[in-house]
A and B are shown apart, each in its own frame.
Chain A
Amino acid sequence: MIISGPVLPIPNANVDTDQIIPAKHLTTIDDSGMGEYCFTGMTNGRKMLDEHPGAVVWVAGENVGCGSSREHAAWALLGVGIKAVVSPSFARIFHENCYTNGLVPVIVDAELIPRFAAAKTITIDVENETVQADDDAPIAFKLDPARKPFVLGGGFLKYLNSKIPAIRAWEAKRAS
């Protein structure tokens, strides 16, 4: 799987999920329609989005997605066409939500963020775990091997469903 395209450079540190999607929009029962409100909780967030039409990679600052557990943040990003987030560090719940939704979380050294933020195009080879700014040499990054399949092909709940017999056996053993 290759993700390649324009960049949304918002490399501010600590962009919390309230900034990605304010709570007043969490009134649905499904994951649709969130793109419309993406970044509306951030000063100039919407403006950045408008100034970078067609962006597929968000270059973010450290501790991206901190705060509320709302998966709506991942849905909002996907809703505006973002397919990957490049950041020096992810908040734990947002990181997990990226994996379960196929929003590729790319962790790179903090020193590289300015270069990625300045890129016109970023290309990510998800299978081979490399990320490339414009025509620079590709840089290796690491995905969690346990969850890489969900980024590539979805199926998180299907996978868990397939584990139920083993889980029931484990629980029966624990009880005895």
Chain B
Amino acid sequence: MKKSLFDKIWESHVVEELPGGSALIFVDLVVAHEITSPQGIIAIERDFEDKLYDPNKIVSLIDHVAPAKDTATAIQAQTLRAWAKRQKIRFHDIGDNGICHVIIPEKGYVTPGMVIACGDSHTGTLGAFGTFALGVGSTAQGGAMLAQVLVLQRPKVMKIEITGELASDVTAKDLILTIIKTIGFKGGTGYALEYTGSAISKLSMDGRMTVCNMAIEAGATAGLIAPDEKTAAYLAETTLKPTNWTSLQPDPDAEYDRTVTIDGATVRPVVTWGTNPGENSSIDGTVPADAHPESLQYMGLTVGTAMKSIEIDQCFIGSCTNSRISDLRAAAEVLKGQKVVVPTIITPGSVGVKRQAEREGLHDIFQDAGALWTHSSCGPCLGMSVGVIAPGTRVVSSTNRNFQGRMGDGGRVHLASPQVVAASAVMGRIASPSDVPAAREKVNA
């Protein structure tokens, strides 16, 4: 049988087949952050003499609450810090940190063909580099640190082919939100999504990471894209500049369990109106007639409401989905010379991204516009530390989850691309970059 990229990575990592379609899968890299790792660390210390399979196969960092906000989160950070020190594990502390899914590729810890596990559901981001990267629970992550394996059910493989080209106003975020809507919020459950096609090839590595990042929002185990010259060029620019990898490709006529084809030209900029990422409409469209009533009640919306008529209270640009340098450049393009009319937080994905943005003067554009430019962390994305929103508050956000209460109890989240968030911040309602007057002049010039 002709093999997919996923099949090849899976089969080269099977340590032992288990009954019922599961296997022990070898893990090349474990990523540990301060929220979900302490439980595994403590269990290994308590029950297994603090022994790890190989500390060199772990990278740890502080990202979710950085810096600590209170005693409890300070203890979480300190647990990770002390462990990294005694185990001699690579560690990115505050000041040198970033959201795990941003900093791990940026530093060059990722190479094609790897299996990567992290106690974080958006780990699939790293699939953009031709890896099988997946989120796992704290105990499974502990197991991967103790024995370097995961117990996994082999997923089926879905080929998602995006043909043609995306229009110039369409971003990777719009593409993945459209994919989720097409296959359904749980349509990817039990699958690894292998993205391919000319529109995927044309995406930058940042865009590919955005597309892989949200595979979990369709329920998928992972998302992945075969490496190419862009992958190599990106890795050559990283801190570690890894060269010890060989390009793995799917066989030319590989067989897939399911194939979904989307014409890239049909994808439009989208914004969510509901309480899961699949509940989205074209930004020029309306809340659809078949919208789930419970979602609409929570969001305080009615069927037929034009997306662009929805007035907003706050904006956020950040998160592992859209906080990389190209996202910030796109936002700055819209915000240049403008003023935000609602509170707007802009949070770079890593210290590296922050410093690059400041070298380019993007922080001045943001701050001149009246936005809050912060240090790097997960920030408001998960409603855990800085920037929590109040009940009923409506925020347009470049993040990945519009779940009930995600960014704060009772808060209402509309997911969109960074440029749509920026335009909305200027207009005080959901808006396209082309709705912002000065931006339109720029485009015409």
Which residues of A are in contact with B by a Cβ distance under 8 Å? 12, 14, 16, 18-19, 22-24, 26-31, 41-43, 62-63, 66-71, 74, 89, 91-93, 96-97, 100-101, 144-147, 156-158, 160-161, 163-164, 166-167, 170-171, 174
Contact = CB atoms under 8 A, between A and B. Distances in A.
Interface string B126-147: 0000000001111110110011
B20 interface: yes
13 contacts: A12-B294, A14-B276, A18-B406, A29-B39, A31-B138, A92-B221, A93-B136, A97-B140, A147-B151, A157-B44, A160-B151, A163-B147, A164-B146
A29 B146 CA distance: 18
Interface stretch (B68-76, B265-273, B314-322, B430-438): B68-76
A87 to B, nearest CB: 12
Given A14-B186, A146-B19, 13 more contacts: A16-B276, A24-B384, A26-B35, A31-B138, A71-B36, A144-B153, A145-B18, A158-B47, A160-B143, A164-B53, A164-B146, A166-B16, A174-B26
A77 to B, nearest CB: 13
A33 to B, nearest CB: 11
B149 A163 contact: yes
B50 interface: no
B121 A68 contact: yes
Contact of A66 (B70, B219, B382): B219
Given A167-B53, A171-B148, A91 B382 contact: no
Contacts of A101: 139
Given A18-B401, A66-B186, A166 B43 contact: no
Contact of A100 (B48, B119, B137): B137
B143 A156 contact: yes
A27 B48 CA distance: 24
A43 to B, nearest CB: 7
B197 interface: no
A27 to B, nearest CB: 4
A27 B404 contact: no
B76 A29 contact: yes
Interface in B100-124: 119-121
B24 A163 contact: yes
A69 B42 contact: no
Contacts of A163: 15-16, 24, 147, 149
Given A14-B276, A29-B38, A29-B75, A92 B189 contact: yes
Contacts of B70: 27
B76 A96 contact: no
B53 A30 contact: no
A149 to B, nearest CB: 11
Contacts of B148: 167, 171
A18 B399 CA distance: 15
A67 B384 contact: no
Given A24-B383, A63-B219, A18 B405 contact: yes
A167 B26 contact: yes
Contacts, number: 169
Contact of B76 (A27, A42, A63, A92): A27
A28 B38 CA distance: 8
Contacts of A145: 18-20
B367 interface: no
Nearest to B54: A171
Contacts of A144: 20, 22, 153
A18 B382 CA distance: 9
Contact of A22 (B24, B44, B216, B409): B409
Given A18-B401, A161-B48, A62 B186 contact: yes
Contact of B136 (A24, A62, A69, A174): A69
Contacts of A164: 53, 146-147
Contacts of B190: 92
B186 A31 contact: no
B189 A160 contact: no
B373 interface: no
B219 A69 contact: no
B300 to A, nearest CB: 13
A171 to B, nearest CB: 7
B185 interface: yes
A100 B42 contact: no
Nearest to B153: A144
Contacts of B26: 167, 170-171, 174
A160 B138 contact: no
B403 interface: yes
A30 B35 CA distance: 10
B30 to A, nearest CB: 13
B285 to A, nearest CB: 23
Given A18-B404, A22-B409, A41-B404, A147 B186 contact: no
A70 B122 CA distance: 12
B135 A19 contact: no
Contacts of A16: 276, 401, 403-404
Interface in B322-356: none
Contact of B36 (A42, A70, A158, A174): A70
A164 B44 CA distance: 14
A27 B190 CA distance: 30
A63 B216 CA distance: 12
B79 interface: yes
B234 interface: no
